Chain A
Amino acid sequence: MEDEGDDMPETSQMSKSPKGGDGVGTAKTALKSSRKMSRMVKNEKGRAMRLQKAAAKRERQNARQKVRETLGEKAPPKEVPRTIENTREVDATMVEPEDEEVMHDEAHDEMAAYFNRETTPKVLITMSPYAKVMTWKFCYELRKCIPNSEIFSRKGVALKKVVKQATKKEYTDLIVVHEDRKKPNGIVLCHLPEGPTAYFKINSLKFSKEIKNVGESTSHFPEVILNNFNTRLGHTVARMFACLFPHDPKFTGRRVVTLHNQRDYVFFRHHRYEFKKDGSKAALLELGPRFTLRLKWLQKGTFDTRCGEYEWVLKRHEMETSRRRFFL
């Protein structure tokens, strides 16, 4: 039904309806006008309904609160809302806390050298050949965020050669920022001696300057928080991220890098924190870039998309069929 939003419903209605003449009973026109409401009337009605609903909800909550107070411990437990994370499909690869075989596997995988403190991270950051301003900006931000990292421009060298040269110069990790349409849109993260290669797509990227009330970063070694990487694949990816940062964070620097996984999206945040109120709360000051990553494939061995073996590939038609199925 078209809305005219006018003050004279009768005239508009008469101009529209082909049959309705003025002479036909007022009951009919009254009925038609009651059915046809103007937009303002609708808005008001909607607002009234919402206020009613909120009031009813508030009443129910208060009633429940009272019941909880009066009964104390015998009160029925708080209801937990159903979320997609709550109703996640059961994944056989979820890692149990004391799984001997998984621990043995991780103790002997490619990144074990870092966790055994045999190597210190040395990161090489590079980008697509002839990259544009935005990509360079992103690389500068990454260099500020990750200690002991260096940027080299790509100059058209093949990635396999880059990997070889980096291994020779004893780098432990390689980050290649992939560019498309003059903006960074992907990251190839390769752990170097013979380690796994992961390709992530960058979803939303905000530089430090675009963030409101951003702070200045320092050069203290940051603490690394890896949240919610529960499956076996998630464990591997989390270990790859951990390998980028030095072992011993400087707690006095109060700098923290968080990689939080939720529904297969990895959120990268960089903060300085300050504990308030005798340690129960912490105030956060955001530093550095803010971006989201999504894992596209994980390959065993260094970068070799043609002949390398993939440990995990996101196949959209097969894997993205359920809203409650996640892989990290």
Chain B
Amino acid sequence: MDCLVGSANGMLKSINLVENTFKNMSVVSSLVPKRDEITTLCWSDEEQTELLSAQLDRQLKLFDSLTGNYSTLFNAHGGEGPIKGVQVVEDGNIATAVQSGLVTIWGTEGTSKLQYEAGNDLLRMRVCPTRRNYFATGGKENPLKLWDINTPDTPTFTSKNVPPNWLQLRVPIWINDLRFLNNSENVVTCTGAHQIHVYDPRSGQRRPVQELLWQEEPLTAMSTCANDKHVVAGNTRGEMALFDLRNKARMVHKFKGFAGALRSIDAHPTAPYVASCGIDRFVRVHNINTKELVKKIYCKARMNCILMRRQLSLLTTVKEEKPDRRRKKKSAEEDEGDDSHRSDSDEDKDAIWEDMGVVAEKSAAAKKIKRKVKSPPVDDDEDDDDDVIIVEPKRNK
């Protein structure tokens, strides 16, 4: 079980990436899409063995991957509209956010403990992964708000809309998805007005610190990935791209292979894999850096949300094939096995390098000779300030 997908007809599917198959966690004939459609998913424990799913009729269900048990917890009543965010906060309590703006903290038995009013048309709520008593909400005409659980009356940070555009028209606020950036409290959001915004609550600036416009279709899903400065986002037309959020925020590259709109993206926290699902009924796994489509699995139903586990069977099989290339964090048992594997190959490699030493020197000498022929010898260590006339093209090392 590498990925878990919640589909629009209420089926929870577990996906095995190595065998390219999926397994349904409930019986098809018992589902009624108008009632059972899964709107959000979240892991409910640190080891990622239990999963919380929220349905269209506000039932919260718990899936235990070890026993395969998919049971109902309680009904998250209050407010109107489907549940747009369900997350586990500190002490095992569950936070749910409904479209009408009501955010409720529930105890595990279903007793509501705290409630917040986060404004109408709330489209997403997420909890900060490093600070479990801090969450963010945003929606349509509902600016990004950061809340501390202990102060239910007002948010600790409310964002401000960007200035009107070049036609002096007000830019709509339409936050479709938001994520807390790795190891910080900065929030990155993607909007229906095809923008990606980065907010820094500690900077004192209520407007976004970074803005990036991309294409013309609404961005519907996003995910942070292994690299702190990178973010993956997808839009309604079936385009997904990797974005770099440094000083000059830009798109790095696009991922190909989609036919329809993306509803959810989840990237692995350390490995370069990103899984995505959408209404074209396929789950796709891409390699973030090489942008190649690693896996494409047909799942027969439109999918709403996807979660990828840290323990991917894809990683273990790849490691067995190429032991020297992958350096990943894994569970203890696998680490021991892999370390021994690595040391063996290292010893072999040392032998290889010793043999190759002679050859390397020769080639360096050959290079020097070549350099003399082409241009006056330039010492790469010194600066090229003295040589004014001759400009050499930069050699990549």
Contact = CB atoms under 8 A, between A and B. Distances in A.
Interface in B250-295: 256-257, 259-261, 263, 279-281
Contacts of A102: 300
A16 B137 CA distance: 86
A67 interface: no
B99 to A, nearest CB: 17
Nearest to B279: A311
Nearest to A95: B300
B28 interface: yes
Interface in B75-125: none
A300 B216 contact: no
Given A100-B28, A309-B279, A313-B260, A108 B9 contact: yes
A263 interface: no
A101 B256 CA distance: 27
B236 A309 contact: yes
Nearest to B20: A92
Chain B interface category by residue count = 20 to 34
B224 interface: no
A319 B217 CA distance: 20
A99 interface: yes
Contacts of B301: 101, 105
B259 to A, nearest CB: 5
Contacts of A212: none
A312 B217 contact: no
A322 to B, nearest CB: 14
Contacts of B220: 309
The B interface, classified by DSSP as helix, strand, loop or mixed, is loop
B31 A104 contact: yes
Interface in A13-35: none
Interface in A301-328: 306-313, 315, 318-319
Which range contains the number of A residues in contact with the other chain? 20 to 34
Given A307-B192, A307-B218, A315 B9 contact: no
B301 to A, nearest CB: 6
B237 A313 contact: yes
B215 to A, nearest CB: 11
A232 interface: yes
A312 B256 contact: no
Contacts of A105: 9, 300-301
A93 interface: yes
A306 B216 contact: yes
B300 A310 contact: no
A277 B281 CA distance: 48
B217 A300 contact: no
B377 interface: no
B395 to A, nearest CB: 34
B328 to A, nearest CB: 29
B121 to A, nearest CB: 14
Given A105-B301, A232-B281, A100 B29 contact: yes
Contacts of B281: 93, 232
Contacts of B353: none
A315 B217 contact: no
B261 A104 contact: no
The residue in B9, B29, B33, B300 that gathers the most chain A C-beta atoms within 10 A of its C-beta is B300
A197 to B, nearest CB: 13
Contacts of B217: 306-307
A105 B29 CA distance: 10
Contacts of B143: none
A315 B28 contact: no
A310 B260 contact: yes
B192 to A, nearest CB: 6
Contacts of B237: 310, 313
A312 B260 contact: yes
B300 A101 contact: yes
Closest 7 CB pairs of A and B: A309-B261, A92-B298, A309-B236, A311-B260, A101-B300, A108-B33, A104-B28
Given A101-B300, A313-B237, A313-B259, 13 more contacts: A100-B28, A101-B11, A101-B24, A105-B9, A108-B9, A232-B300, A300-B302, A307-B217, A307-B236, A309-B261, A309-B279, A310-B261, A315-B238
23 contacts: A92-B296, A93-B281, A100-B28, A100-B29, A101-B28, A101-B301, A104-B9, A105-B9, A108-B33, A108-B34, A300-B261, A306-B217, A307-B217, A307-B218, A307-B236, A310-B237, A312-B260, A312-B280, A313-B238, A313-B259, A313-B260, A315-B259, A319-B259
